[in-house]
Amino acid sequence: MNRFVRVIAIASIAVLAAVPSIGKPLSRILAESGLSPLDMEMMIQAEAVLYSVSQPKTGTVEAWSNPETEAHGTVTIINRNANCIMLQHEAHMKGREKALQPKRKFCKDDKGAWRLPL
């Protein structure tokens, strides 16, 4: 995944995780999410495992864990429709009771690469 796409992916997870925080700068949203940049990278890698198979299947789960921050979670394919899949995250952070549960949709482009739809 190229760097630009990775930055956009990290930003969109942060935005989805903090929906009630509309109007806040991205740096504040990231800080308030409780997720470190490495946590977010692990979430993105877990997503990539799910959509990198030739035929992603609904219900498939990939787990991630960061021993440094004690954050952990799962990513699940909750829907597949034509060339798109919907992923559901469940991210648990140390010291926070409620898990973040952002959803992200990926679709295959004309060249067969998985992308976040614009």
Residue 91 has pLDDT above 50, yes or no: yes
pLDDT higher at 29 or 113: 113
Q: Compute the average pLDDT of residues 1-23.
A: 48
The residue that leads in pLDDT, 92 or 19, is 92
Q: What's at 89, amino acid-wise?
A: H
13 close to 99: Cβ distance less than 8 angstroms: no
Residue 57 zone, left/alpha/beta (φ > 0; ψ -120 to 50; rest): beta
Task: Give the mean pLDDT of 50-63.
Answer: 92
The tokens describing 116, both together, are: 């976040």
b/e per residue, 18-55, with b = 16+ CB within 10 A?
A: beeeeeeeeeebbeebbbeeebbbbbbebbeebbeeee
Q: What is the mean pLDDT of the chain?
A: 80
**What gap in Å lies between CA 91 and CA 16, rounded to an integer?**
12
Residue type, 101: Q
How far apart (Å, rounded) are the C-alpha atoms in residues 62 and 48?
10
The predicted pLDDT at position 21 comes to 38
